[in-house]
Chain A
Amino acid sequence: SAVISQKPSRDICQRGTSLTIQCQVDSQVTMMFWYRQQPGQSLTLIATANQGSEATYESGFVIDKFPISRPNLTFSTLTVSNMSPEDSSIYLCSVEFGFYGYTFGSGTRLTVV
């Protein structure tokens, strides 16, 4: 399966600032996925990022708040913009590798104060 490096692993940020999370995959993949995992909640898909096209956002998530870049087939970034304490969560990137083999990064634990 693919190996995903995600950074930073954790951060504490001031409200109103932005944080960019990086996701590097050791293989070329078509689609990369960004999830949010809030305490006591299920993983929620934020958006799907395809190389060379705009990301597709799920209901409740907008590009102005969560801009995504996908410059090539092994790398993607998710930015959490104008942060508030409600954005405190774990953010995970994921790739589909093989038939329904989804691999996840270790996650970025974000605390907004």
Chain B
Amino acid sequence: QKEVEQDPGPLSVPEGAIVSLNCTYSNSAFQYFMWYRQYSRKGPELLMYTYSSGNKEDGRFTAQVDKSSKYISLFIRDSQPSDSATYLCAMSDTDKLIFGTGTRLQVFP
């Protein structure tokens, strides 16, 4: 079993839709949870960072962490074509990040 599982997609949604991206993990020691966005031919860029359980909101993006279920989510409201990218979850217990495989999202006009 992989430490971090993420549905690879692709996920195709119309502009304006609410998008839900998810990851599950097996290591209960993980405390730091991140979402990265990666455009084609670019490196990943940090989108959201959460420590322990709870929610965090930043504009159209909301990150949720449920440590009891070992489940994290990223919600994108009012999705835009510019949101089309691969979204990677990442998590850590100390100083090494473990990444999911990434979910490819396409938002069509």
A contact set with B: CB distance below 8 Å: 1, 4, 6, 31, 40-45, 92, 94, 96, 100-107, 109
Contact = CB atoms under 8 A, between A and B. Distances in A.
A9 to B, nearest CB: 8
B95 interface: yes
A100 B92 contact: yes
Interface of B: 4, 6, 8, 32, 34, 36, 41-46, 49, 88, 90, 92, 95-102
Contacts of A103: 45-46
Contacts of B49: 100-101
Given A41-B101, A100-B92, A106-B42, 18 more contacts: A6-B43, A40-B8, A42-B4, A42-B99, A42-B100, A42-B101, A43-B88, A92-B43, A100-B49, A101-B49, A102-B97, A104-B36, A104-B43, A104-B44, A105-B43, A106-B41, A106-B43, A109-B41
| A-B interface, 6 closest residue pairs, ranked by CB to CB distance from nearest | A104-B43, A42-B99, A43-B99, A42-B101, A106-B43, A104-B44
Contact of A102 (B6, B41, B46): B46
A104 B45 contact: yes
A46 B42 CA distance: 19
Q: Which secondary structure dominates where chain A touches chain B? A: strand
Contacts of B34: 100, 102
A101 B46 contact: yes
A92 B90 CA distance: 15
A104 B38 CA distance: 10
A52 to B, nearest CB: 18
Q: Which of A42, A45, A94, A105 has the most CB of B within 10 A?
A: A42
A101 B44 CA distance: 12
10 contacts: A1-B46, A42-B102, A43-B90, A43-B97, A43-B99, A45-B96, A45-B97, A100-B49, A102-B46, A106-B43
A76 B46 CA distance: 22
